[in-house]
Amino acid sequence: MENVFNIIIFQIDIFFSHLRLLDSKTRKSTLNPFSYNPTMNIKNKPATFFALLIIFLMAFILYWSTTKPIDVVIQAGHEGRTSGNTGAVSKLYSEVKWNILVADEVAKKLKSWDIDVKRVPAKVRFTRAKIAVSIHFDAAKIPCHSGASIGYPNKNSYTFAQAWKKLYKAHFPYHWHEDNFTQNLKNYYAYKWIHADKFLVLELGELTCEKQTKWLKPRLKKVAHLIAYAIATQLGRTVKKPQF
């Protein structure tokens, strides 16, 4: 942390030294680098812009490094979107509504265990977290040709992914895809915005498959509690395992 701060101070010193050299003919000599003539003519504007950019980036790094990570971020996929990818739909159900229901219940359960949680919609800002989970349901052009799946960005998330699969496979009786079986799972956009030690994108079943939705609908809160349990155990918490 101290090193980052020293770098910023060093860059600021370089910046003002650069200004003094550029306008040495029109500025008065001073020992205070912050007291200069505001009407001076800066000839080398690209270099000045570059120096300012360096200062801004260093300040951002300092801010980012001092931001305390949240324990858990829970995202409801597609929530808040009115255009673009607004989520899967079927004749009876909307993915967004189910995503929100499950995400809210996961957050509620985690909070009941005194775990720090941030609930976010589809649009996210830069956030740091120990664990992030994005809730989704799949769809298929040919009904019942999809099912449950998991996406994650790196090896750090692999053990969490396998732990979740083991938990959910014991209950979800339908098809499972291989991990990261689509580019959307492998390169999920929020990986770049939510910097988490472990990040999972969960597809909990197929919304366009009637037999899957009949199984899922009465169990959505139970599925949410199972997700919360998986997260809590990854954080090292001892909590009661939910019953289906």
- Residue 33 pLDDT > 80: no
Mean pLDDT of the chain: 85
Distance, in Å, from the CA atom of 240 to the CA atom of 113, rounded to the nearest integer, reads 10
- 104 pLDDT more than 70: yes
Q: Which residues pair with 129 in a beta bridge?
A: 70, 196
Is a pLDDT exceeding 50 seen at residue 31? no
Asked if 43 and 10 count as a contact pair (C-beta separation under 8 A), the reply is no
Looking up tokens 């985690």 gives: 110
Higher pLDDT, 36 or 57: 57
Q: What share of the chain is helix, strand, coil (3-state, %, to 5)?
A: 45, 20, 40
Which pairing describes strands 127-138 and 117-120: parallel, antiparallel, or unpaired? unpaired
The mean per-residue pLDDT over the stretch 88-95 comes to: 90
Buried b (16+ CB within 10 A) or exposed e, 105-116: bbbbbbeebebe
Tell me the mean pLDDT in the region 124-144. 95
| Average pLDDT of the residues in 129-142 | 97
52 close to 9: Cβ distance less than 8 angstroms: no
Write the DSSP symbol of residue 94.
B
The per-residue pLDDT for 16 is: 55
Q: Is the predicted pLDDT of residue 8 greater than 80, yes or no?
A: no
Those residues with Cβ within 8 angstroms of residue 238's Cβ, 6 or more apart along the chain or in another chain: none
Indicate the pLDDT class of residue 18, thresholds 50, 70 and 90.
low
CATH architecture of 70-234: 3-Layer(aba) Sandwich (3.40)
**Is there a contact between 23 and 42 (Cβ–Cβ < 8 Å)?**
yes
Query: For residue 182, how many other CB atoms are within 10 A of its CB?
Result: 15
State the average pLDDT over residues 58-76. 78
How would you class 242 by CB atoms within 10 Å of its CB: exposed for 0-12, middle for 13-18, buried for 19 or more? middle
- Residue 80: is its pLDDT beyond 60? yes
Mean pLDDT in residue range 202-227: 97
Structure-block tokens of residue 43: 């000839």
- DSSP letter assigned to residue 237: -
- Phi and psi based region of residue 116 (left: phi greater than 0; alpha: psi -120 to 50; beta: remaining): beta
Q: Is the dihedral of CA 65, 228, 82, 153 positive or negative?
A: positive
Residues of the chain with CATH 3.40.630.40: 70-234
Contacts of 78 (CB under 8 A, 6+ apart): 85, 86, 87, 95, 96, 99, 122, 136
Please give the model's pTM, rounded to 2 decimal places: 0.75
Q: Which tokens belong to 136?
A: 């989704």
Q: Quick one: pLDDT band at residue 5, thresholds 50, 70, 90? A: very low
Does 239 score more than 80 pLDDT?
yes
Closest among 198, 205, 181 to 232, alpha carbons compared: 198
